[in-house]
Structure 1
Amino acid sequence: MILYFETRISVSGRMAALAACLATACVVAGGTLAAQETRASIKNVLLIVSDDLRANALGCYGDPLCQTPHIDKLASRGLLFTHSYCQGTWCAPSRTSFMFSRYEGRGTQSLGEHFRKNGFYSARVGKIFHMRVPGDIIAGTDGEDIEECWTERFNSQGDEAHTPGDYACLNRNVFTTELAGRQSTKMPHRMFVSVSYQGDGSDQPDHKTATKTIELLREHSAKPFFIAAGFVRPHYPMVAPKQYFDRYRWEEMRVPTQVQNDLADIPKLGQTASRSALNGIDQFPDNQKRMWAAYYAAITFMDDQVGRILDEVERLGLHENTAVVFTSDHGYHLGDHTFWQKSNVHEEVIRVPLIISAPGYQPGRTDSIAELVDLYPTLSELVGVDVPADVQGLSLVPILKDPTAQLKEGALSFSNGHSWRTNDWAYMRYNDGSEELYDMQHDPEQITNLAGDQEHEMVLERLRTELLARLENAGIKRINRRQTTPAR
């Protein structure tokens, strides 16, 4: 860069001017100005939400078996949050939470309505607010969707467990091609159903969601948009074309470590209603592996649909002005501690994948704590709109700028009580006062509950105080302050 100075400027003035020009040169050389200009050009948001997806099942989060090349590619282009947590631990409260940026309950204006009222085309395709899966998917109905959020909304119907093909109900050890007698809507064993069938997947709800999302991207690429694409896989029933099941031999699946007397130090309210000994799958160890194989097949099928959408984003040149977010409403138990499904505050449920790819921000990974309530203010800041006063999350843009930035001490989640997850510790306090405490640096699988260990009493007391303060700050009063020792 060439610097020019007027001879009339004083020595001090010349020094100040020189310093300013040098600073400008450094900024330009470092690309910061260019990045600021690029960030200012972000005008669209594409939000992609999976269903029941545990973070560590993705290749980019370290799973060595599951094939997720498209989500992994998005992660390589964006910022991957290694410590991202949901607030609600099943579909309805989680989706309400992140769509309103409230820890519990609704706020004044949802994310979709907020964008629509700020001049964006706002569309939902598939499941964003709660839908019964499979019930609302089979019927093609809206579920608990909020109509005023959207300029347009589209449902993606599918036959789910009634899809003709190789059906299995794995906790009952049932394998059949017959359509009669299959576990479906509101039936007690529907959570263990998989269907492998001959087809290209175009009849499946997630394929339909991707197809409609692609259509909307083409139709609305010329003006600001907020498009939310909600996939239902890998939520049960795990239905996918046979070629996806063929990628995962059940004999090669690895199931979670089973520890003798693992439940002895987990309080009653910390144990899920669906446990191996209660749902019957403990009688069929091979079927536990088949559950993992079906889960992986459903994920890879969903990943291919993500890829179709991302390819269209690239083809249309929207990657230059569109922020793309991928996440899930919560994680999922697949035999961890003999637990299955969700509605639990252990790590496999509360930890969710979160990838934010936005023009002008460098790709990478961050260990900074993030919560799904943070999506609302983050996306609003990226496109330059203010947020309602009752939004409780924090914008993650400072972390997008600097992945080492720390915005909060921990993450709050709830189910039969609340959990407080910091970088080093996982603390749960249930509605009856019982507690769990895990050293996540040395015990990431949460095997040894330290809540009754005198050596950790100071840590326990500190985390109690932090949790109660966070609950009060969020306006949540529903917690029993009585202290008890954990169940043994």
Structure 2
Amino acid sequence: MTRKNQPNLVYIFTDQQRADTMSAYGNNWIQTPNLNRLSDDSIVFENAYVSAPICTPSRATQMTGLWPHTNGCTKNNIPLADDIKTFAEFFPDDYHTAYYGKWHLGDEVIKRRGWDEWHSIEDQYRVWSTKEDNNEILSDYHHYLISQGYKPDKESSGKMVFSRSFAAQLPEEHTKAAYLGRKVSEFIDHNKANPFAICVNFFEPHPPYTGPFDDLYEPDDIPQTPVFRVDPPDNASRMSTLMADDQAKKRLVINQDQETSILEADDAFNGPQNNSEKEFRRVQAKYYGLVTLMDKAVGQILDAIEKAGISEETIVVFTSEHGDQMGDHNFFHKIVMYEQSAKVPMLVSVPWLESYRIKGRYSHIDTIPTLLELMGQKIPDHLQGQSRMKDLETKKSLEENDVYLDWNGRSVDQTFPLSELERMREIPHRCVITGDGWKLNLSVGDQSELYDLNSDPYEQVNLYDNLKFSGKVLELAHKIRNWQLETGDTALIPEVYPGVGFVEGMR
């Protein structure tokens, strides 16, 4: 099959979905039939990485084709500047463009320049609105719930809104996932006669860890990794060890039969309520239930494409903005450089290309240029990634490709005085994962790390201070420094290295 003129694009990404949540990535027990059928027709990137393991910076890269330090969205809740172009502005005028779902790049419910349609589902970021008048507007999903007879349960910036926990506990048909599945399906039906590009962001499986499929999976039957409930190594980054410490200190376990939380229950669905294995597994089961909920909504979208008769002219992408530790290294959520947080699914279904598995490392920074070239569109000169279309056409591996992580801090919503964990989270880190499986995390204010992912895929042995690997550390540090120079990154990285000493040119 040859490429169709002006193919459509359906770009689907989720929030906080780690890679091993479908059969394409080795999970043979989770119920994701729709992601499985999509992967059967897709190019599956075996090792795909985000630009940063946190919401706003990662999605900013996916929407702009720029690194967080370039597009300005270096932490959560920093609005994307008006002068930064997004994906929609790279298409010709005869494309109908739409964004449906969570945005998290500022002014959540306000249509961004370049998009022809905007359909919002979030009312939790009102405090970050750039204009007071924007807070008079509530999301499309809010109005839908009102039409169904529901009453808002939470006050936010002068308006009553629906909290995330409230929405998550609704019957399946009224959840954000099911709602988006229906709305995107309607969009496809309405626009099937003309070229379109739609980006869809599902909130699930992001916390709150609860939903209509809470009881779908038996917690005791969930397979675990070798680092489930295992603390990071003693010489891991302080940010990582503090994450595990924080998880442990939040809860008081009296004994194995009786567990008591010492935290105020601000959100009973944001993670384990105690530090027992039973509780960890209970949260995991609910998380995987959210993945299945989202999978059903993806199925609605795939069915809509088939029903519209446009399967042979529509590229479908599925990925996520970061992962979730899910108890690996003994904590939940993201924010760290571990593979569980930084690696995500990446499926690209191109009707005129054969499906296959592509080895090596892939970065989201390359997604926009790759899709634009696949669609026959011009690639803007300012984008910082490169098109991988030729690699996909020739089935070339990416085993020589290096990827980078760009960490600049957690969020701008800090409460002072900062805890030690929050202080460590604000320290920049730069990371490279090489095509041949070496991983170096550098920081001037934290313990740096070197892992050999080939022999140590779960990052249990930090080799950074082992003088035997000084040459490898320096080799990878030069890669990071060269990447910084190429991309205009001014974050400091170490000038002194174990077994080597001072290295000129690292600043």
TM-score bracket, normalised by the shorter chain, equals 0.7 to 0.9
**Corresponding residue of 1:331:** 323
| Aligned 8 A contact 1:157 1:204 in 2 | no
Question: 1:314: Cα distance to partner?
Answer: 1.0
Partner amino acid, structure 1, of 2:236: I
| 1:252 to partner: Cα distance | 1.7
Q: CA RMSD in A?
A: 2.9
**Segment of structure 1 superposing worse, 473-482 or 269-278:** 269-278
Q: In the alignment, residue 127 of structure 1 is paired with which amino acid? A: K
For the pair 1:154 / 2:119, whether they are aligned, the reply is yes
Unaligned runs of 5+ in 1: 1-34, 132-141, 160-181, 187-191
Given that 1:81 and 1:366 are in contact with CA atoms closer than 8 Å, whether structure 2 keeps it comes out as: yes
Q: Percent identity?
A: 24
Query: Structure 1 479/220 Cα, relative in aligned 2: closer, same or farther at 3 Å?
Result: same
Superposed, 1:455-466 pairs within 5 Å as 455-466=468-479
* TM-score, L = length of structure 1: 0.78
- Residues 434 and 484 in structure 1, CA contact (< 8 A), matched pair in contact too: no
Equivalence for 2:13? 49
TM-score scaled by structure 2? Answer: 0.75
Deviation (angstroms), 1:119 = 2.8
Answer with 329-338 or 295-304: which moved more. Answer: 329-338
Whether contact under 8 Å (1:373, 1:393) holds in the other structure is yes
Offset at 1:253? 2.3
Using a 3 Å threshold, how does the CA distance of structure 1 residues 127 and 157 change in structure 2: closer, same or farther?
A: closer
SS across alignment from 2:315: strand
For residues 275-296 of structure 1, give each alpha carbon's deviation from its aligned partner in whole angstroms, at most 9, with x where no partner exists.
4213324533211001110110
Higher-Rg structure is 1
In the TM superposition, what is the alpha-carbon distance from 1:65 to its structure 2 partner? 2.5
Return the letter of the residue paired with 1:298: L
Distance 1:228 1:289, change over 3 A: same
Shift of 1:255: 4.0
Report the CA distance between 1:407 and its aligned residue: 8.3
Aligned equivalents of 1:198, 1:365: Cα separation in 2: 37
Please state whether the residue corresponding to 2:450 is helix, strand or coil. strand
Distance 1:249 1:420 in 2: 37
Contact 2:33 2:295 in 1 (8 A): yes
Amino acid at match of 1:297: G
What one-letter code is carried by the residue in structure 2 that aligns with 1:48? I
Equivalent residue number for residue 238 of structure 1: 209
Contact 2:50 2:343 in 1 (8 A): yes
Q: Equivalents in 2 of 1:341, 1:297: separation in Å?
A: 16
In structure 1, what is the Cα distance between the partners aligned to 2:388 and 2:51? 16
Of 175, 180, 202 in structure 1, the residue corresponding to residue 173 of structure 2 is 202
Match of 1:59 among 7, 23, 30: 23
Structure 2: gaps of 5 or more residues: 72-82, 125-152, 158-163, 252-271, 408-427, 500-507
Equivalent residue, structure 2, for 1:123: 98
Question: What aligned pairs does 1:158-177 form with structure 2 within 5 A after superposition?
Answer: none
**Structure showing the higher helix proportion among its residues:** 1
Tell me whether 375-384 or 256-265 shows the greater mean CA deviation: 256-265
8 Å Cα contact 2:40/2:355 also seen in 1: yes
SS in 2 for 1:414: strand
What residue number does 1:305 align with?
297
Paired position in structure 2 for 1:409: 401
Query: CA separation in 1, counterparts of 2:166 and 2:120?
Result: 22
SS in 1 for 2:366: helix
Per-residue CA deviations over 1:391-430 (Å, capped at 9, x if unaligned) read 0111121222123243863111122311101231111112
Distance 1:251 1:478 in 2: 44
What is the identity, as a one-letter code, of the residue corresponding to 1:417?
Answer: H
Q: What amino acid is aligned across from residue 85 of structure 2 in structure 1?
A: Q
Matched, 1:320 2:295: no
> CA offsets, 1:352-405, max 9 Å, x none?
110000121000101132111111111111221112221011112122212324
User: 1:30-82: per-residue Cα shift (whole Å, max 9, x none)?
Assistant: xxxxx4xx214352110001110000122211113321111111111010001
Paired with 1:238 and 1:223, the residues of 2 have a C-alpha distance of 39
Question: In 2, Cα distance between the equivalents of 1:382 and 1:319?
Answer: 16
Q: Which residue among 57, 76, 85 is the counterpart of 1:109?
A: 85
